[in-house]
Amino acid sequence: MANVTLQSELDDANPGTVADCLRQVKLGTMLTPLKFDTGVISSSTSIILSPPALLVGTCRVVSGAAAAGARTMSDMGDTPTATVATLSDDGTTITFEAGVTEAVVEYIPRSATAMDTLEQPAS
């Protein structure tokens, strides 16, 4: 018998288990875009997102020696430059290029529980 994961249970949409699965992944949080203002930060700093990001919608530099305005995001395999901030593979850390001392990031959070987690039946 194959392992039953949150992903497989949600894909199957079994009425008997779907509510428990949705509670575990915190679907309401996942469907609510969040806006995070870093406040004043040091140049070339990293920030920790809570909850972690699944997808970054916008990243805007508010202040610093770097020109204010929109930034694109890349994964950690890239180097932050004048046009890129990087997002860690686990979605928890954004690292800004030099010259950014405040930024606003809007993002969609990840599932609270990994989708490959084995499904635990309701007790």
Give residue-wise pLDDT tens across range 61-104: 888 887 777 877 777 777 666 567 888 999 999 988 888 889 99
In the DSSP assignment, the letter for residue 82 is T
Angle at the Cα of 53 from the Cα atoms of 45 and 47, rounded to 5 degrees: 15
Write down the pLDDT at residue 48.
93
Write down the pLDDT at residue 11.
92
Least confident of 1-5, 58-62, 96-100: 1-5
Per-residue pLDDT at 38 exceeds 90: yes
Q: Which of 41, 54, 44, 43 is nearest to 106 (CA)?
A: 54
Write down the pLDDT at residue 86.
86
Asked whether the beta carbons of 44 and 36 are under 8 A apart, the reply is no
Which class for 94: exposed (0-12), middle (13-18), buried (19 or more C-beta within 10 A)?
buried
CA-CA distance, 87 to 54, in Å (whole number)? 10
Between 83 and 42, residue with greater pLDDT:
42
Backbone angles phi, psi at 23, to 5 degrees: -65, -40
What's the chain's Rg over C-alpha atoms? 18
Write down the pLDDT at residue 79.
67
Which class for 88: exposed (0-12), middle (13-18), buried (19 or more C-beta within 10 A)?
middle
- For residue 60, give the H/E element and its range: strand 53-63
